[in-house]
């Protein structure tokens, strides 16, 4: 049984204390741990994106939160890259290429996610002359540069970051509802 199957199975198990079912509690524990890791990075993303002041200030001062986030995010991207086999490891130099790719994807996706505003219109979609911004074609977002496989992975990881922050916000909202 895969993890998801065992997780569903343990949710359906009538009594988790039953000796025969004892192993059924393990996936629940694993999910709780995974949730904590997700919560950790989600809280960090929220702090760096919204609480540390303007993004350019964050990059210039290199705050601890950002340095920590870069480390945690790089580790997470490396894990995903290995799981999803972004690079087929056939020889020793493939390992170096893979490591470099994971680092570039982690840094580019985080930079875009933190500050992906179109520079020409400052993320408004309209130029200073009140004209439609032709650089971003009104999308307000800066284009993710490059092409092909690496660019697609950067875009994937930008969505992952969105997802992590949304999950964090949902958890925070749920906690608030319980307190009220
Ligand atoms: Zn623009």
Mean pLDDT, consecutive 10-residue stretches, the chain (180 aa), reads 45 45 48 52 72 52 70 91 93 93 93 86 89 92 88 95 86 74
* Cα-to-centroid distance, 131 and ligand 1 (Å): 10
Residue 167 within a domain: yes
* Cα 126 to ligand 1 centre (Å): 6
Residue 175 lies in a domain: yes
Q: What local confidence, expressed as pLDDT, does residue 42 receive?
A: 75
**Interval between CA 120 and ligand 1 midpoint (Å):** 5
Pairwise CA distance, residues 24 & 17, whole Å: 9
Residue 123 lies in a domain: no
User: Which pLDDT score is estimated for 179?
Assistant: 65
Within a domain: residue 84? yes
In a domain, 65, yes or no: yes
- Answer yes or no: is 124 within a domain: no
In degrees rounded to 5, what are phi and psi of residue 99?
-60, -45
* Alpha carbon separation from 154 to 25, 26, 88, 100, 148 (Å, rounded): 36, 34, 18, 13, 10
- Within a domain: residue 136? no
CA of 41 to the centre of ligand 1 (A): 30
Nearest C-alpha neighbor of 42 from the set 176, 156, 130, 165: 165
Does any domain span residue 19? no
What is the model's pTM? 0.67
Question: What is the total count of domains within the chain?
Answer: 1
Q: How far is the CA of 142 from the centre of ligand 1 (A)?
A: 7
Per-residue pLDDT, 145: 82
**What is the distance between the alpha carbons of residues 92 and 56, in angstroms, rounded to a whole number?**
38
pLDDT on residue 60 = 53
Domain of residue 90: give its range: 54-115+146-179
């Amino acid at each position: 049984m895969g993890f998801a199957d065992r997780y569903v199975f343990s949710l359906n198990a009538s009594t988790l204390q039953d000796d025969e079912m004892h192993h059924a509690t393990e996936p629940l524990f694993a999910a709780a741990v995974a949730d904590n890791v997700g919560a950790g990075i989600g809280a960090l993303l929220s702090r760096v994106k919204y609480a540390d002041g303007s993004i350019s200030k964050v990059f210039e001062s290199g705050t601890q939160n950002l340095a920590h986030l870069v480390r945690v995010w790089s580790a997470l991207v490396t894990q995903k890259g290995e799981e999803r086999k972004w690079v087929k490891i056939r020889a020793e130099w493939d390992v170096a290429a893979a490591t470099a790719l994971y680092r570039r994807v982690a840094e580019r996706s985080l930079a875009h996610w933190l500050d992906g505003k179109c520079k020409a219109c400052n993320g408004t979609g309209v130029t200073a002359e009140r004209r439609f911004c032709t650089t971003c074609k009104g999308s307000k977002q800066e284009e993710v540069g490059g092409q092909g496989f690496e660019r697609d992975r950067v875009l994937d990881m930008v969505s992952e970051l969105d997802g992590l922050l949304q999950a964090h916000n949902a958890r925070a909202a749920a906690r608030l509802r319980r307190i009220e």
